[in-house]
Amino acid sequence: MRAQRLHRPGTAEERPLRLEDVGSPHAGPGEVVVAIDACGVCRTDLHILEGEVPARLPITPGHQAAGRIVELGPDVRGLSAGDVVGVGWIASTCGTCPFCRSGRENLCPQATFTGRDRNGGYAEKLSANALWVYKLPEGFSSRDAAPLLCAGIIGYRSLKVSGIARGGRLGLFGFGASAHLAMQVARHWGCEVYAFSRERHHRELAQSLGAAWAGDSGDDPGVPLDAAVLFAPAGEIVPLALARLNRGAMLAINAIHMSPIPAMDYSLLYGERGIRSVTNYTRRDAEEFLALSAEIPVRASVELYPLEAANEALLAVKRGGIRGAAVLTVTPP
């Protein structure tokens, strides 16, 4: 089968992925094999590509894979051959640590990750632990559903971590794949959304989705925010976001890697403002968000690239050129 492989990190401009013929995976105990129709391109893939997030090499990146189950291993329950499913970021957890036992498996120290520790979705097939495979909502094509599997789920968790209340004023800093999906949930909750982005096409997308206001990261929307989520991996935005928060408000940072946060005056935190990082997601987050996606429904704005153009898709993500989410297509249209 064909797969995009990373043998050593390199800048996106160097196009380090290689399209190779590799052996097809097989399902071991508790595993399934998925024939992939589409795989979302995540900024975390870019961090892995450029060596900012260490990975087991060589590796097939990609952790937003959507397709159909073609093989089941022993001891798989609740899934059948032919099911349309998605495979996301978490590949496995230990199941026994205090975090796993308390429903916080997103913090498991022994967790492994798709496209980092285990071959991912930039390929024609992948094998996955069946416990971390999700049936996709009815009415969603693989190409529409792929961005939901990380950008969507982690965006949903970010909203929860921010503590935004229904009807509140929410700031979204950085308006890409995750933010444009999270915004649809926030609007469903009756929130006023204020979108901050340096890219004009991102601001236009936010306004088309019902943003109350859209501007650059340093602009003043004229009202205090009840909560905010930072999606851009740019530490210099943290004080700008804090300056827009009301007293008692939380800034959730949705980033696996980011540039240093500059020194800032304590007055930005005073008034019981807070900062919390967002780390992975739980199975409950995934199940809740996928069900909510069908109810709303959440729709991703996608730009399609063939599997052969994975390097180009990652370069476009790096340059902020994607309006919504980039998705690799594996099967013919």
Q: Does residue 4 register a pLDDT over 80? A: yes
The pLDDT assigned to 48 comes to 97
Q: Does residue 20 register a pLDDT over 60? A: yes
Is there a single domain that holds both residue 129 and residue 250? no
- Mean pLDDT of all residues in 34-48: 96
Give the separation between CA 109 and CA 302, rounded to whole angstroms: 33
The pLDDT assigned to 332 comes to 56
In percent, how much of the chain has pLDDT > 70? 99
Per-residue pLDDT tens digits for 152-172 = 999 999 999 999 999 999 999
pTM for this one? 0.94
Query: Could you tell me the pLDDT band of residue 286, with boundaries at 50, 70 and 90?
Result: very high
Is there a single domain that holds both residue 255 and residue 298? no
The pLDDT assigned to 180 comes to 94
What residues contact 255, with CB distance under 8 A and at least 6 apart?
230, 231, 232, 233, 277, 278
Q: Does residue 333 register a pLDDT over 70? A: no
The pLDDT assigned to 315 comes to 97
- Residue ending a domain, among 254, 277, 300, is 277
Average pLDDT, the chain: 96
Q: Which residue has the higher pLDDT, 36 or 139?
A: 36
Q: Which of 49, 87, 47 is nearest to 67 (CA)?
A: 87
The residue length of the chain stands at: 333
Q: E strands along the chain, which residues? A: 2-5, 18-21, 31-41, 65-72, 84-87, 90-92, 112-113, 125-129, 133-135, 169-173, 192-196, 213-215, 225-230, 245-253, 274-277, 302-306, 325-329
Per-residue pLDDT tens digits for 203-262 = 999 999 999 999 998 999 999 999 999 999 999 999 999 999 999 999 999 999 999 999
Query: Could you tell me the pLDDT band of residue 13, with boundaries at 50, 70 and 90?
Result: very high
The pLDDT assigned to 323 comes to 87
In percent, how much of the chain has pLDDT > 90? 93
CATH of the domain at 197: 3.40.50.720
Overall number of domains in the chain: 2
Per-residue pLDDT tens digits for 91-141 = 999 999 999 999 999 999 999 999 999 999 999 999 999 999 999 988 899
Is there a single domain that holds both residue 245 and residue 300? no
Is there a single domain that holds both residue 183 and residue 239? yes
Is there a single domain that holds both residue 9 and residue 142? yes
Is there a single domain that holds both residue 139 and residue 16? yes
Is there a single domain that holds both residue 121 and residue 213? no
Query: Containing domain of residue 99, as a range?
Result: 2-149+280-329
Is there a single domain that holds both residue 19 and residue 44? yes
- Mean pLDDT of all residues in 5-17: 97
Is there a single domain that holds both residue 124 and residue 216? no
Per-residue pLDDT tens digits for 292-329 = 999 999 999 999 999 999 999 999 999 988 988 999 99
Is there a single domain that holds both residue 18 and residue 129? yes
Is there a single domain that holds both residue 70 and residue 185? no
CATH of the domain at 292: 3.90.180.10
Is there a single domain that holds both residue 250 and residue 167? yes
- Residue ending a domain, among 240, 260, 277, is 277
Q: Does residue 263 register a pLDDT over 60? A: yes
